[in-house]
Structure 1
Amino acid sequence: MHSVLFLLTLLLCVLTGTAHAESLTLREALDRAAATSQGLKSASREVEIAREQVNVARSTKLPRIDLQGGYVAQAKAQAFKFGNQSQETQDPRYPFFNFSVYQTLYDFGRTRDNEGMARLRGEAAQYSYSGSQQDLFLQVVQAYYGILTAQKLVQAAAEEVVQMESHRKTAQAMFDEGVVTRNDLLQAEVRVASSRQNVLSAENEVANGWLLLNYLTGAAPDFRAELKDESQRPQLPGDSGAPDLSRRGEVSALKALVGADDYAVNEAKTSHYPEFFAKFGVDYLSNSKVREQAITALTVGFKVNLFDGPASAARVRQAVQARSRDEERLRDLEERTRLEYSMAMNDLKVADARIRVAEKAITQGVENLRITKDRYQEHVGTATEVVDAQTLLTKTRTDYYRSMFDLQVAAARVKRATGEL
């Protein structure tokens, strides 16, 4: 009797243990994960770094202004020699400074290409962040429904313990009456112990699920809440052909990188083109030996690299190969994403079918257990048949709960594949 009361109390705790605790919906869990994830915070830094690179590329459109100054102390002043005579041309110690303004006038598109390359890489970083966020959301969905499923498994295991205790009592009474052998009683006691182990395993699954969910949402490890399963049974989408990948973050990121590679190729091809510039400068050097100590000048000119070995040609080939690499990665990712979508769709359909089968099987399992127990009490059936009937019912319930979990996760995977989670 005490064992039955204990098990009933355990079942009650499973069902109502969080009645007064904080509630947590899936939407709230996703929001918490997005706000607290260290991985997403790290990815957001990558986005900011890429955006600043755009400012670096744009800066070449503006004039470059430099200022330099210092003080020189020489052991001896420089001098000209005239026969046996010499004449100093500078002071041995003097201050100096230089001020210059340099402006690129035309560089055959190098600045434009660098800016376009930086802009598209910034977009790629933003799309990659979106992909990381989608991955995190999928993990939260799996952890959230994993806890709900494990709680149902605890409930099913606790109900099995109650049923096995009832069967053990029946076997004990019949053994006391001498109508069954001791084997029936021993079998019932072993099955009760096994059922209790199933309860412990299911409870451990719940505890581990909470540890994972708390890690993903930034909560304390001992945080517990009442999970709200507000999601409706997903509707099976029709066969719409190829999935729309326009919202998939990783695909968009690679497309942006391919575009940036185009700019990189163009920029590498202009390495031997001249750059036209204008420069304004003021050079001051304190020297009592000369009349003009400050020289002010304006220069308009060009500069060009005539030869740098195989470096320029190698940079062009390198940029072309990088573009080809990213194009191959893009094609592979698109194929893998379509495969991911197709597999998730198959899993979704199978999980839905499994649920429909399990719903009917549970009803049949309950009736089968009732009939088998009645037959045993009437000395027609055997104890093994009762145990088998209860085991079958528990397995059917477990399959049903796991099918519900697989259905929700498969639906989330479908959305993840298309970037809509």
Structure 2
Amino acid sequence: MKNKLANLSALLLLSPMGLLAQDNKHMTLEEIIHLAANQSVEAKSADTKILGRQLEVETAKSKQLPDAKLSGQYMAMTTPNVNLKLALGEGGSAPDIAANQLWLGQASVSMPIYTGGRIKGGIDIAKDVLKAEEYNAVASKEQLAIRAVNLYLSLYKAQQTNLLIAENIKQSEQRVSDFKAMLDNGLIARNDLLKAELQLSNYQVSLQEAQKNIKVLNYQLANFLKIDEDTQLDQINLGEVTGVDLGLKASYDAAKTSRSDLKSMES
């Protein structure tokens, strides 16, 4: 009976119904940074703000264009056809009212000649605000990229911890098996076996915590990047990371010339 139940459980696990639908995906660090800077809610909000500032610049420029207005009216009256059959005398006739339509039109054009530089000043201010907003967007996306990299590296650490604990479990299981054989032969005390079994149990608990941590970080990263929340990232390989300059001097020089947050405050 036990063998039948075991076989049935194995069939259920191997069948499509017994498999959990998970979207395993391989993503590099470059892809993570790109998604963070373009797909996240904060990135789209920054792009929307830039679009709004661009519209403000166009509105400020439109104030220096001529302002033309055109208006018109049209009225029409029906001409009554009334025959009272009254004698009007010789040569008399009913008046002919043919003018039953009226058109009125008016056009005006106003051109700003001199406004004390307010229009040009408004355009310059709008451009400066746009430039500051663009620098703000770059600085915000840099922070988003940093958050994404931190999540990515945290997931990498969790995956490596999971692999390490799994390897420790294999070694601990082998040790427990060896201790059982040694106990049967009277080579060790039972307490030694109990200690080995306790260590194995601790490793198994740690493995569950590591796997739980991986799921949490997977969810946080997927939610941050606005991809499917069921996405499970494959084992991360940091050897694929290219184009990263670890030199402190180069990083310092780049920071001095590309600090978008400082440029935003200067604008």
Query: Secondary structure of 1:126's partner?
Result: helix
Equivalent residue for 2:35? Answer: 32
**In the TM superposition, what are the counterparts of 1:204-353 in structure 2 within 5 Å?**
204-226=212-234, 227-229=236-238, 230-231=240-241, 235-238=246-249, 244-256=255-267
Count of matched residue pairs: 215
**In the TM superposition, what are the counterparts of 1:66-145 in structure 2 within 5 Å?**
66-68=69-71, 99-145=107-153
d(CA) in 1 for partners of 2:252 and 2:214? Answer: 39
d(CA) in 1 for partners of 2:122 and 2:155? Answer: 50
RMSD across aligned positions (CA): 3.0
Equivalent residue for 1:49? Answer: 52
d(CA) in 2 for partners of 1:252 and 1:160? Answer: 51
Q: How big is each residue's C-alpha offset from its partner over 1:224-260, in whole Å with a ceiling of 9 and x where there is no partner?
A: 343442126863424997874332222212211xxxx
Query: Secondary structure of 1:235's partner?
Result: coil
2:64 to 41, 58, 61: 61
d(CA) in 2 for partners of 1:184 and 1:166? Answer: 14
CA 147–117 in structure 1, closer or farther in 2 if over 3 Å, else same: same
Contact 1:245 1:251 in 2 (8 A): no
Contact 2:53 2:130 in 1 (8 A): yes
Query: Secondary structure of 2:68's partner?
Result: strand
Equivalent residue for 1:165? Answer: 173
Letter in 2 for 1:103: M
d(CA) in 2 for partners of 1:177 and 1:217? Answer: 58
Unaligned runs of 5+ in 2: 1-23, 75-101
Unaligned runs of 5+ in 1: 1-20, 72-93, 257-421
Task: Provide the identity percentage.
Answer: 24
CA 42–244 in structure 1, closer or farther in 2 if over 3 Å, else same: closer
Larger strand fraction of residues: 1
d(CA) in 2 for partners of 1:30 and 1:239? Answer: 20
> What is the Cα deviation at residue 139 of structure 1?
2.1
Larger RCO (alpha carbons 8 Å, 6+ apart): 2
d(CA) in 1 for partners of 2:169 and 2:48? Answer: 53
Query: TM-score w.r.t. structure 2 length?
Result: 0.69
d(CA) in 1 for partners of 2:237 and 2:105? Answer: 72
Query: Secondary structure of 1:62's partner?
Result: coil
Contact 2:67 2:109 in 1 (8 A): yes
d(CA) in 1 for partners of 2:252 and 2:154? Answer: 31
Q: How big is each residue's C-alpha offset from its partner over 1:364-388, in whole Å with a ceiling of 9 and x where there is no partner?
A: xxxxxxxxxxxxxxxxxxxxxxxxx
Q: How big is each residue's C-alpha offset from its partner over 1:351-409, in whole Å with a ceiling of 9 and x where there is no partner?
A: xxxxxxxxxxxxxxxxxxxxxxxxxxxxxxxxxxxxxxxxxxxxxxxxxxxxxxxxxxx
Query: Secondary structure of 1:105's partner?
Result: coil
d(CA) in 2 for partners of 1:176 and 1:32? Answer: 59
> What is the Cα deviation at residue 36 of structure 1?
2.6
CA 108–152 in structure 1, closer or farther in 2 if over 3 Å, else same: same
